[in-house]
Structure 1
């Protein structure tokens, strides 16, 4: 990932503002603080984004753009994998294991900017107009995609409330480790989320989800390479 000084001024402002908005609330972050942290004139915010609200919207639009590879790759993986798996429950379980593994990697890998997860969680807890940007641009798509596999496993329509609630639970369980990073590290006495720690999270979470989906007989599945 390029250093903040190597990217465009608007993107640098978005990255800086995103981290500040994730750490505190929208109202608690001043435009002067953003400008100072981004090493730009205060007028740069109005020039590039109109006002602080415009910058806030730009942060979420960029988050949605940056997460596009995850949406595309998940869609392709499901399209190819489900046609090959058919009704074979072990193959469906293997697909679920891969999805859980990569959702955790995407959420916890240092290069994936954990502030994004915290800002998304803040926006969902206290929605603004930017919630619709997240919902329509990313969250709904990820829910629907994961719901396709869940529906196949459960033998229910993808549109059913049970499938939608289960998809919500899956995505929440995978993302909450990044959202609650400090709590998890404190409780486990970990210094960071490195490969070893992420592996331990997978070892605990994957059997839990497989059993919840009545795939407990397949908890022996070994993690496979990433699809992204």
Structure 2
């Protein structure tokens, strides 16, 4: 009988292996035998720990949500606190927006784990399953709401206005493109990889665009 630590280790290895296999082949194309082999466990471990392939996939999506939340929550909490304080100045809102952009780039572009998350997240955009609801409620919606509460007053737009929602998607999308279109970015810039200096260049470019969006709401 496996000890508690061994069980936790086996579950974690299955999650890590499944993250790669599901990302490469999608849910339908992923083989539970291949996942178990990559994790170094018996195939029976999948129904034992997760109830089956579907449960394992949901476990992987929950893992992605956990990882993103852990990295983004400090910045989102700070943004929410600023947004809810009536004494917060427009400049403080602007700086909080820029800080969120920097944090997002560091997470989604500057970490190798994000390449694995992005494969599954993009698949869920094209062919959503019930897992999309997990990603939306735990990852996307909290980020959108925090940005909305910071950016809306700067632009003079109501929180539920379509214009504000579109602006927010443009803010997030311009940062996300450096992950989902990484191959095109590297080829066009003649880079071989994202280095710390190049990440600084990406942050600067995204910051310039965020500033332009925020400045659109300033009085002439």
> What TM-score do you get using the length of structure 2 for normalisation?
0.86
Task: Give the CA RMSD over aligned residues.
Answer: 2.2
Q: Is the 8 A contact 2:154 2:217 kept in 1?
A: no
Moved runs in structure 1, 4+ residues, more than 4 A? none
Q: 1:17 to 1:116 in 2, by over 3 A?
A: same
1:163 aligns with 2:164: yes
Partner of 2:93: 92
Q: Is the 8 A contact 1:101 1:202 kept in 2?
A: yes
Measure how far apart 1:71 and its partner are: 4.2
Measure how far apart 1:178 and its partner are: 1.3
Q: Is the 8 A contact 2:155 2:217 kept in 1?
A: no
**What whole-Å deviation, never above 9, does each CA across 1:45-83 have from its counterpart, x for those lacking one?**
111111111111110111112222234312321134443
Moved more, 181-190 or 36-45: 181-190
Q: Is the 8 A contact 1:154 1:213 kept in 2?
A: yes
Partner of 1:103: 104
Measure how far apart 1:85 and its partner are: 6.5
1:76 aligns with 2:74: no
1:154 aligns with 2:155: yes
Task: Give the structure, 1 or 2, with the largest relative contact order (CA under 8 Å, sep 6 or more).
Answer: 1
Partner of 1:220: none
Q: Is the 8 A contact 1:85 1:91 kept in 2?
A: no
Partner of 1:122: 123
Partner of 1:40: 41
Secondary structure of residue in 2 paired with 1:27: helix
> What TM-score do you get using the length of structure 1 for normalisation?
0.84
Alignment partners' CA distance in 1, 2:131 and 2:23: 14
The equivalences for 1:135-150 within 5 A come to: 135-150=136-151
**Count of residues paired in the alignment:** 211
Moved more, 181-190 or 109-118: 109-118
**What whole-Å deviation, never above 9, does each CA across 1:168-201 have from its counterpart, x for those lacking one?**
2212221221122222222222222121111111
Q: Is the 8 A contact 2:72 2:104 kept in 1?
A: no
Structure with greater helix share of residues: 2
Secondary structure of residue in 2 paired with 1:68: helix
Partner of 1:224: none
Alignment partners' CA distance in 1, 2:114 and 2:95: 28
Measure how far apart 1:84 and its partner are: 8.0
Alignment partners' CA distance in 2, 1:208 and 1:64: 27
Q: Is the 8 A contact 2:14 2:39 kept in 1?
A: yes
Alignment partners' CA distance in 2, 1:207 and 1:185: 20
Q: Which runs of 5+ in 1 are unaligned?
A: 218-228
Q: 1:70 to 1:166 in 2, by over 3 A?
A: farther
Partner of 1:64: 65
